[in-house]
Amino acid sequence: MQDRIKVVIVDDEPQSIHRLQDDLATLEDFEVIATSSSAVSAKNLVMSIQPDVLFIDVEMPGQTGFEVLQSLRDEIPMELIVVFYSAFDKYMIDALRASAFDFLLKPYQQDEFELVVDRIRQKMKDGDDVDEDASSVPESSSCSSESVLASQKAQDFSGMNGMLGTAAKRLAIQTISGLLMLKPDDVFSCTFDEATHLWQLKLSNGQVYKLKRQATAKTILSMSPSLAQVRQDCIINLDYLLC
């Protein structure tokens, strides 16, 4: 039987811990090993348990989740999957800068939770595949499983840092399938879908993404001065003058 994915939850709100813990308990391949409502004790907890996944709140008494992660940076395996779990979407960019794997906005919808869980599963599977590939390298080779993993992580972080280097000129947009970093002129239009009650984002290249349920016309319009609402269910980029 495949090992279960070990999870630690750190959040100063007991009800948030309980909800996330209950949802994870319904999954056969996940196991919540420990929870803590104290950011101060989080470091020792993570160090002693060495979980696969850490769900951690941002705003907590004593220390923020970012400070906890920073204190762990040189002492935890690079493979640790960190998901920031917060009621404030203003922390999304900071979460990316901290090399977080994902950001779950409280209170989350079930489909958003499932998407994060599926991404974690895929990440764990990708890690296992790397291990298998590394184990097939002859001993005489200069490659080792550690160097293969380190190389993969370095590429991940390099890509993330490159993306964040221009964050001031980009939009951080939460879709139901993950976070998009876009230039303002990448956005072609947004239309509200009555069937799903979700805003749909259309890019200039024709790709369409469904935004998370928290998205409103007001939050979409605030992303760029070139966006304008021409109907209750339609927002356009004035640079294209089409809807």
- φ and ψ at residue 174, rounded to 5 degrees: -85, 115
Which of 123, 140, 157 is where one domain is finished? 123
Share of the chain above pLDDT 90, in %: 31
Amino acid at 50: Q
Give the per-residue pLDDT at 31. 97
Say whether the peptide bond before residue 107 is cis (omega within 30 degrees of 0): yes
Give the per-residue pLDDT at 176. 86
Return the ∠ at Cα 75 (arms to 70 and 77), rounded to 5°: 100
Q: Is residue 163 part of a domain?
A: no
Which of 94, 123, 152 is where one domain is finished? 123
**Range of the structural domain that residue 180 is part of:** 171-237
The contacts of residue 101 (CB under 8 Å, 6+ apart) are 81, 82, 83, 119, 120, 123
For 141-162, give the DSSP string.
SS--HHHHHHHHHHHHHHHHHH
Higher confidence at residue 17 or residue 178? 17
For the segment 158-165, the average pLDDT, to the nearest whole number, is: 34
Q: What is the torsion angle, in degrees rounded to the nearest 10, for the CA atoms of residue 21, residue 22, residue 25 and residue 31?
A: 10
Higher confidence at residue 157 or residue 225? 225
- Distance from C-alpha of 99 to C-alpha of 113, rounded to nearest angstrom: 20
Residue 158: pLDDT band by 50, 70, 90 thresholds?
Answer: very low
Instruction: Kindly tell me if the per-residue pLDDT of 30 is higher than 90.
Output: yes
- Distance from C-alpha of 141 to C-alpha of 112, rounded to nearest angstrom: 43
Instruction: Kindly tell me if the per-residue pLDDT of 54 is higher than 90.
Output: yes
Cβ atoms within 10 A of the Cβ of 130, count? Answer: 17
CA nearest to 240, candidates 203, 207, 215: 203
Answer yes or no: do 88 and 188 share one domain. no
The contacts of residue 171 (CB under 8 Å, 6+ apart) are 180, 181, 182, 183, 184, 186, 187, 223, 224
**Mean pLDDT of the residues in the chain:** 78
Residue 139: pLDDT band by 50, 70, 90 thresholds?
Answer: very low
- What are the beta bridge partners of residue 54? 8, 82
Residue 60: pLDDT band by 50, 70, 90 thresholds?
Answer: very high
**Which position has the token pair 């080792």?**
144
Q: Is residue 134 part of a domain?
A: no
Give the per-residue pLDDT at 52. 95
Answer yes or no: do 14 and 84 share one domain. yes
Answer yes or no: do 37 and 116 share one domain. yes
Give the per-residue pLDDT at 233. 87
In this structure, are residues 114 and 27 in contact, taking their beta carbons and an 8 Å threshold? no
Q: Is residue 195 part of a domain?
A: yes
**Which position has the token pair 């900071």?**
94
**Structural domains in the chain (count):** 2
Share of the chain above pLDDT 70, in %: 77
Instruction: Kindly tell me if the per-residue pLDDT of 242 is higher than 70.
Output: no
CATH number of the CATH domain containing 99: 3.40.50.2300
Answer yes or no: do 28 and 112 share one domain. yes
Q: Is residue 91 part of a domain?
A: yes
Give the per-residue pLDDT at 107. 87
Higher confidence at residue 177 or residue 18? 18
Interval 62-91: pLDDT, tens: 889 888 888 887 777 667 899 998 887 777
Q: Is residue 201 part of a domain?
A: yes
**Which position has the token pair 């070990």?**
6
Give the per-residue pLDDT at 50. 92
Enclosing H/E stretch for 81: strand 81-86
Which of 123, 158, 193 is where one domain is finished? 123
Answer yes or no: do 24 and 109 share one domain. yes
